Amino acid sequence: MSQNDIKIRKARRDDLPSILALVVELAVFEKEPNAVTASLEDYQEAWDSKLIDCIVAVEKSEDSEQVIGVALYYDTFSTWKGKMMYLEDFVVSQAHRSKGVGKLIYDELFREAERRKCILVKWQVLDWNEGAIRFYEREGATIEKEWWNVKRYL
């Protein structure tokens, strides 16, 4: 695989099964193999209502494209800063990691945030994911350690 075989583009609805499969792969990597309970129908509903959007990396062959990476995000609002984007999932398939695919997606994500006139992009990273932390710090991100995650299921 060379960089010339990789295309970065906005996702389409028909990419959603591949995107969901990458999210499941991410959950396995994050040691939560049974945590993904959202269905393809949930993804389709969120897509159709414009709740989520994605940038994908696809590996091109003569007659097909295979989704090999994704940044899934949505617009949100910071009462302190203004319009922002939340990066929910950022994953490159295991077979394509450490080949520059993540950097291509990451750079396009920030171009998209600028097009949307966002003031910042926020996301989470696990404290043990040293490779991701190094990548984010190398790319100029700030890792906040003083805020705790809070959630409540309904």
Question: Per-block average pLDDT, block size 10, for the chain (154 residues)?
Answer: 80 98 96 96 98 97 90 97 98 95 98 98 95 95 91 88
86 catalytic residue (yes or no): no
pLDDT for residue 2:
57
Residues 67/82, Cβ–Cβ less than 8 Å: no
Please name every residue paired with 75 in a beta bridge, in sequence order, or none if there are none: 85
Residue type, 43: Y
Fold of 3-138: Aminopeptidase (3.40.630)
Helices 16-29 and 40-48 pack at an angle, to 10 degrees, of 120
pLDDT at 10: 98
pLDDT at 4 (0 to 100) = 66
CB atoms closer than 10 angstroms to residue 27:
16
Residue 123 φ/ψ, nearest 5 degrees: -165, 175
Active-site option among 73, 86, 106, 136: 136
**Confidence (pLDDT) at 38:** 97
Could you give the CA distance from residue 109 to residue 71 in angstroms, rounded to a whole number? 7
DSSP H helices in the chain: 16-29, 40-48, 101-115, 130-138
Task: Mention every residue, 6+ apart, whose C-beta is less than 8 A from residue 54.
Answer: 10, 11, 15, 19, 70, 71, 72, 73
